[in-house]
Chains A and B, each alone.
Chain A
Amino acid sequence: MNKPTVLIIDDEPQIRKLLEINLSSKGYAVRQAESGKEGLLLASSHFPDAILLDLGLPDLDGHEVLRRLREWYNRAIVILSVQNGEADIINALENGANDYLTKPFRVGELLARLKSAIRHSDSSIVVQTVETGNLEIDLMARVVRRAGEIQKLTSTEYSLLALLARNEGRVLTHQFLLKEVWGISFQSETQYLRVFIAQIRKKIEDDPNRPTHIITESGVGYRFQ
């Protein structure tokens, strides 16, 4: 089997070096681009399995690179962003980015995000059950078990949990979750989301106040793990 290829588009040589060392040690083949234009060129010539895209590029706006990539590129794109850039992150996620990391990021986190983004971009995989810790979600039978015990969820709670679990490891924005579960006219009604997430946590988390499965990404959305 070929090594999966990752294309890094970032103008900072130090960040590229750090990423290259870590990614190649984990068995990825690494390509590097230092500008948006070079990135677009390498993406079309190599068709990598995943792209790590920095939003702050010298020549093209990162959002523009993302938009052009998504015209034809259907594999994983993970965004690298600066802190306090929630608006940028949401924008990128809504325009087809699979996930994001804020600089400074931890390497372990980066590898986990990348792996999960690559897995999810492969649409041939059908997820039937999600198991994490003592939690088991059977997506076929619509059954949720915590420590072997069946948890009773309302149908909305289940829809929300199943959506998060199917996208295990990926951040889903508030708007996306509201649109998928409640419908397009509820996109700004985030209070529903807060209430339902709190209810689900009470049923699936060992300590709902220190959740380990549904993680809050402040200002962006939620992530199931």
Chain B
Amino acid sequence: MKLRSFWQFLIGTASIAFLALGCYALGDAVDQWAVALILLAAVSVLAVLFDIIPVLAAALLSALLLNIFFIDPVPNYKIYDTESVLLFFVYLFIALVNAVLTNRLRKQEKKIRDREEKAKTIKLYNTLLNSLSHELKTPIATIIGGIDTLKEIDAEILPEQRMELLAEIETAGNRLNRQVENLMNMSRLETGTLKLKRDWCDVNELIFLVIQKLPVEDTSRIRFEPDDTLPLVKLDGGLIETAVYALVHNATRYTPKQMPIEIATSYEGNMLLIDVSDSGKGIPESEKQHLFEKFYRLPNSGTGGSGLGLSIAKGFVEAHGGTVNVANRPQGGALFCITLPAEVPKL
């Protein structure tokens, strides 16, 4: 800050001095009024760019130089005729007022900008809280409501309804658990407490573990051919499993049931690639850049989902020095591609 105001002083006074010198060199071609206007213009420009103190210094310097070198008699600080006295004081007045007013305007502007910034943060925070409380409250409501039903009207409901209710409670519990896990993962990413535990991973096994974790009704739509030639790779298996799960789970949510979801793996040039593709509607071009932002959800994406999965996937992959990209397939549907730099065992 100090250094900045030092440079502002230097540039301010130097530019005024330089201008004055230029006007002086022109001699009689410009009269004192023209010089005053030129210097005033320079002070105005400085006032827009610099802080108040360097600008005031430049304004005073310009008044001084005007007086000594341009207001008759020159070169002298003395002033005799009324017109010149008027010129000097009016110049000084305008220069100072100009500097102060411009500064006040800049401060005002900054205040407005800050306020807008704050409003934006509050809006984001509110969106976040709304989305979160909805995501948590829905399963809680299901659990409490389900248990009330079982307690109060247990005798009146059919055995299969009872089983259905229990299944709903179970699903709600799992959903709650997943949301809390998401939040914890997000906070591990945000606070920078994420530490990679790299170990040798069998990627085929990792993908099958992901498939196993999916709800049963979704496992049958997954197409995955294990690749026996894939080498072991050194990764934090838990994190990559979570990342792949997020992509696959996302695909199951946003494509019609029964529509196949393909997972493919390959290893090329020290890079492990994991592709997850579907045959859904694909991602609108305008949404692609926001897709991995936390709490972002596609417009009209229906109920459920916190908008955390993809941003966690991206965070975990990037922690490995990798990338997650999204593209639309020529034949339709979205393609998410994880690219990871991965060490393989030395033979």
Complex CA–CA separation, A83 to B181 (angstroms): 8
**Does any Cβ of B come within 8 Å of A26's Cβ?**
no
In residues 330-347 of chain B, which contact A (Cβ within 8 Å)? Answer: 345
Is the CB–CB distance between B232 and A195 below 8 Å? yes
Query: What is the distance, in angstroms, from A32's C-beta to the closest C-beta of chain B?
Result: 24
Is the CB–CB distance between A198 and B238 below 8 Å? no
Is the CB–CB distance between A219 and B181 below 8 Å? no
| B238 partner residues in chain A, CB cutoff 8 A | 84, 86, 218-219
Query: What is the distance, in angstroms, from B216's C-beta to the closest C-beta of chain A?
Result: 13
Complex CA–CA separation, A84 to B241 (angstroms): 13
Is the CB–CB distance between B173 and A210 below 8 Å? no
Name the CB-closest residue of A to B202: A194
**Does any Cβ of B come within 8 Å of A108's Cβ?**
no
Given contacts A104-B177, A218-B237, A219-B237, contact A190 B199 (CB under 8 A): yes
Is the CB–CB distance between B237 and A209 below 8 Å? no
Given contacts A104-B177, A218-B238, A219-B237, contact A209 B208 (CB under 8 A): yes
**Does any Cβ of A come within 8 Å of B205's Cβ?**
yes
Name the CB-closest residue of A to B225: A209
Complex CA–CA separation, A40 to B226 (angstroms): 49
**Does any Cβ of A come within 8 Å of B121's Cβ?**
no
Is the CB–CB distance between A218 and B199 below 8 Å? no
**Does any Cβ of B come within 8 Å of A124's Cβ?**
no
| A218 partner residues in chain B, CB cutoff 8 A | 209, 237-238, 241
**Does any Cβ of B come within 8 Å of A191's Cβ?**
yes
| B97 partner residues in chain A, CB cutoff 8 A | none
Q: Contact string, B158-194, partner A, CB cutoff 8 A, digits 1/0?
A: 0000000000000001000100010010000000000
Is the CB–CB distance between A104 and B345 below 8 Å? no
**Does any Cβ of B come within 8 Å of A24's Cβ?**
no
Name the CB-closest residue of A to B241: A218
**Does any Cβ of B come within 8 Å of A216's Cβ?**
yes
Query: What is the distance, in angstroms, from A186's C-beta to the closest C-beta of chain B?
Result: 13
| A104 partner residues in chain B, CB cutoff 8 A | 173, 177
| A83 partner residues in chain B, CB cutoff 8 A | 181, 184
In residues 195-245 of chain B, which contact A (Cβ within 8 Å)? Answer: 197, 199-202, 204-205, 208-209, 212, 226, 232, 237-238, 241
Is the CB–CB distance between B200 and A194 below 8 Å? yes
Given contacts A84-B184, A210-B212, A216-B209, contact A194 B241 (CB under 8 A): no
Query: What is the distance, in angstroms, from A152's C-beta to the closest C-beta of chain B?
Result: 20
Is the CB–CB distance between A198 and B173 below 8 Å? no
| B177 partner residues in chain A, CB cutoff 8 A | 104
Query: What is the distance, in angstroms, from A87's C-beta to the closest C-beta of chain B?
Result: 8
| B226 partner residues in chain A, CB cutoff 8 A | 209
Complex CA–CA separation, A195 to B230 (angstroms): 12
Query: A194: which of B197, B201, B208, B212 is its contact (CB, 8 Å)?
Result: B201
| B202 partner residues in chain A, CB cutoff 8 A | 194, 198
Q: Contact string, A181-196, partner B, CB cutoff 8 A, digits 1/0?
A: 0000000001100110
15 new A-B contacts, CB < 8 A, other than A194-B201, A198-B205, A216-B209, are: A83-B184, A84-B184, A84-B238, A86-B238, A87-B197, A190-B200, A191-B200, A191-B232, A194-B202, A209-B204, A210-B212, A216-B205, A218-B209, A218-B238, A219-B238
User: Which 8 A/B pairs are nearest by Cβ-Cβ distance?
Assistant: A191-B200, A190-B200, A191-B345, A194-B202, A219-B238, A209-B208, A191-B232, A194-B200
